Amino acid sequence: MFDLMKRKLSSNDFDCLFAQTATFLASIVICIAGLYALIRLDLSESEMFLGILLVLAVTLLGIICGLLIPMVEQYDAES
């Protein structure tokens, strides 16, 4: 039973590419959805500014995570 759970279903390269693509696409969706939600709200200038900064911060965090995935995979392969 445990040997079945340890079996690899795909290669490490595919897993890395899939995770990287998923994080990049999620970042784009979060950016578009967040900005669309901010536009629909009746906010003051300062609230709009802070909202845009927060949406861009979360988007940038997702992009950075996507860029770090190959480095983590490389480190995991070495050890």
The model's pTM is: 0.79
Taking only the tens of pLDDT, the chain with its 79 residues reads 677 777 778 888 888 899 999 999 999 999 999 999 999 999 999 999 999 999 999 999 999 999 998 888 777 766 6
Per domain, the residue ranges of the chain are 13-78
Which residue from 36, 52, 56 is spatially nearest to 44, judged by alpha carbons? 52
CA distance 75 to 61: 21
Which residue from 75, 77, 71, 68 is spatially nearest to 23, judged by alpha carbons? 68
Cα–Cα distance list, 40 to 22, 36, 43, 47 (Å): 27, 6, 9, 13
